[in-house]
């Protein structure tokens, strides 16, 4: 236990760090593996993780109270947020690198609040307008190439659009997911969501095993490990943070993930990060913090 941080705060920061590590792992294989194949492999690995965990987490509690409407919302959130949004995010990482893609996609709390305001008539927070302005400024900064030297061709605007669309879809998926899991634990929900994502992506985007041919053992281990780290352990740490310190503080602390991603991209991936990118990441994070 840290003298300065509570267990809940450590869990939230740990979750943010693991999500960034997940992005770094995927980035190392983004040129060898298609985003759809990545999504299938990592969700399959995460499904196995949650299936193993399920017997130890009251697997039947609340299931009798789950309505057909809630099951429908759960399936819809999977298709919108994970099958589609995650695939776009993985493509964005390949196109514009981890530091930019993670910063842009991590603005999804803002999208969540906007959908709550539009669809659920939730009151807007006082900092919503200013937060939107800051995020917009961050997007402009991250959309510019700056003076950094790229080691390969980069479709910058295309990657930025993909990351932003992923953020919007994650926000919509979150709003759908909240009522969907009213009577489910996180382990129960993810035991359904993860294999469903793998199945939906496999059937709609791959339609066969050709995309997995030629993978070496290291590629399988890295992509599968990213599912365990980012969608398995990180999710459980986030859940524990929610229980211990509440949603607002947990979401605020986990939103520092782009900072971890920026450090990892520079140290391990050797990505070129300019002052423009640093300011863009800071603006996006500042905008998110204002509305939380």
The three-class DSSP label of residue 268 is coil
pLDDT of residue 1: 44
φ, ψ (nearest 5 deg) of residue 34: -70, 150
Mean pLDDT across 46-75: 91
From CA 285, how far away is CA 282, in angstroms rounded?
5
* pLDDT of 162 above 90: yes
Domain-located, residue 142? yes
pLDDT of residue 149: 46
Q: Which of 27-41, 56-70, 124-138 has the highest mean pLDDT?
A: 27-41
Q: How confident is the model at residue 219 (pLDDT cuts 50, 70, 90)?
A: very high
From CA 238, how far away is CA 244, in angstroms rounded?
10
Domain-located, residue 260? yes
Helix 7-28 × helix 257-267 angle, to 10°: 40
Domain-located, residue 134? yes
Q: How confident is the model at residue 272 (pLDDT cuts 50, 70, 90)?
A: confident
Q: How confident is the model at residue 3 (pLDDT cuts 50, 70, 90)?
A: low
- The answer to whether the Cα torsion of 172, 174, 180, 182 is positive or negative is negative
Reference 189, options 42, 291, 73, 37; nearest CA is: 73
Average per-residue pLDDT for the chain? 87
Domain-located, residue 1? no
What's the total number of domains in the chain? 1
CB 101 within 8 A of CB 30: no
pLDDT of residue 292: 65
pLDDT of residue 147: 55
* pLDDT of 153 above 60: no
Domain-located, residue 2? no
From CA 163, how far away is CA 157, in angstroms rounded?
10
Domain-located, residue 286? yes
Note if the pTM is more than 0.85: yes
Domain-located, residue 11? yes
Query: What residues make up the domain containing 262?
Result: 7-291
pLDDT of residue 247: 64
Instruction: Provide CB contacts within 8 A for 95, sequence distance 6+.
Output: 101, 154, 155, 156, 158, 159, 162
* pLDDT of 208 above 90: no
């Amino acid at each position: 236990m840290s003298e300065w941080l509570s267990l809940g705060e450590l869990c939230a920061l740990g979750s943010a760090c693991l999500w960034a590590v997940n992005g770094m792992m995927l980035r190392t294989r983004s040129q060898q593996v298609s985003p759809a194949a990545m999504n299938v492999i990592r969700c399959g690995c995460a499904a196995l993780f949650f299936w193993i965990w399920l017997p130890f987490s009251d697997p039947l509690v609340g299931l009798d109270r789950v309505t057909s409407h809630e099951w429908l919302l759960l399936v819809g959130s999977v298709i919108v947020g994970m099958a589609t949004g995650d695939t776009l995010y993985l493509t964005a990482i390949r196109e514009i690198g981890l530091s930019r893609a993670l910063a842009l996609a991590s603005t999804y709390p803002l999208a969540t609040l906007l959908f709550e305001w539009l669809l659920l008539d939730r009151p807007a927070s006082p900092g919503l307008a200013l937060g939107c302005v800051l995020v917009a400024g961050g997007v402009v900064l991250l959309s510019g190439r700056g003076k950094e030297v790229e080691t390969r061709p980069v479709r910058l605007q295309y990657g930025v659009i993909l990351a932003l669309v992923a953020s919007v879809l994650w926000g919509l998926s979150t709003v759908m997911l909240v009522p969907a899991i009213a009577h489910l634990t996180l382990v129960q929900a993810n035991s359904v969501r993860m294999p469903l994502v793998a199945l939906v992506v496999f059937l709609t985007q791959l339609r066969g095993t050709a995309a997995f041919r030629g993978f070496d053992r290291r590629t399988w281990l890295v992509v599968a490990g990213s599912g365990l780290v980012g969608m398995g352990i990180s999710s459980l740490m986030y859940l524990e943070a929610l229980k211990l310190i509440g949603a607002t503080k947990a979401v605020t602390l986990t939103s520092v993930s782009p900072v971890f991603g920026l450090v990892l991209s520079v140290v391990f991936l050797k990505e070129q990060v300019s002052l423009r990118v640093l300011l863009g990441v800071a603006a996006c994070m500042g905008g998110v913090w204002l509305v939380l």
